[in-house]
Amino acid sequence: MQVLVDSSIWIDYFRTGRSSSHLDMLIDENLIVTNDLILAELVPFLKIKKQYQLIGLLEEISRNPLTINWQEIIHFQTQCLAAGANGMGIPDLIIAQNALQNDCAIYSLDKHFQQLQRIIQIDLLP
């Protein structure tokens, strides 16, 4: 199974790597994927820091196409609100939808994905 690596993991990995210990193994096993939303969260900061080689490496990762089903996003958000998860951001819902559409697990440090796992049954790496 491929793993969609969220920006929170990449940020930790680039800073200290303390909380993203599984990433090296996933890279070695060629199991990681990304999407344009995640890259849009990462690349601008890396450009400001002139990390062009790192940007090039991130852009080589296989990308899941983003096919946003807005009715499904509305359904997910409705389920979240009904479950009391009021702070769920649309980008997180889009990432979850993208993982489901492409049969991927999500690797993230964002606690919203732990809530989503209980509400819409996404696969989440520990």
Question: According to the model, what pLDDT value does residue 77 have?
Answer: 97
pLDDT at 64 over 90: yes
Specify if 84 maps to a domain.
yes
User: 22: alpha, beta or left, given left = phi > 0 and alpha = psi -120 to 50?
Assistant: alpha
Question: According to the model, what pLDDT value does residue 62 have?
Answer: 97
Specify if 53 maps to a domain.
yes
| Cβ–Cβ < 8 Å for 124, 105 | yes
Specify if 125 maps to a domain.
no
Specify if 97 maps to a domain.
yes
Domain containing residue 65: 3-120
| Residues found in the chain | 126
Tell me which amino acid residue 124 is: L
Tell me which amino acid residue 14 is: F
Report field, pTM of the whole predicted structure over 0.85: yes
Cα distance between residue 89 and residue 110, in whole Å: 11
Specify if 94 maps to a domain.
yes
pLDDT band at 20 (very low <50, low <70, confident <90, very high): confident
**Helix ranges restricted to H, 32-104:** 36-48, 52-59, 70-82, 90-101
Looking at the 3D structure of the chain, how many domains does it have? 1
Instruction: Find the CATH number of the domain harbouring 101.
Output: 3.40.50.1010
pLDDT 10s digits, 72-122: 999 999 999 999 999 899 999 999 999 999 999 999 999 999 999 999 999
Question: According to the model, what pLDDT value does residue 69 have?
Answer: 98
Specify if 80 maps to a domain.
yes
Question: According to the model, what pLDDT value does residue 115 have?
Answer: 93
Question: According to the model, what pLDDT value does residue 17 have?
Answer: 85
Angle between helical axes of 90-101 and 70-82 (0-180°, round to 10): 120
Residue 18, both tokens: 């303390």
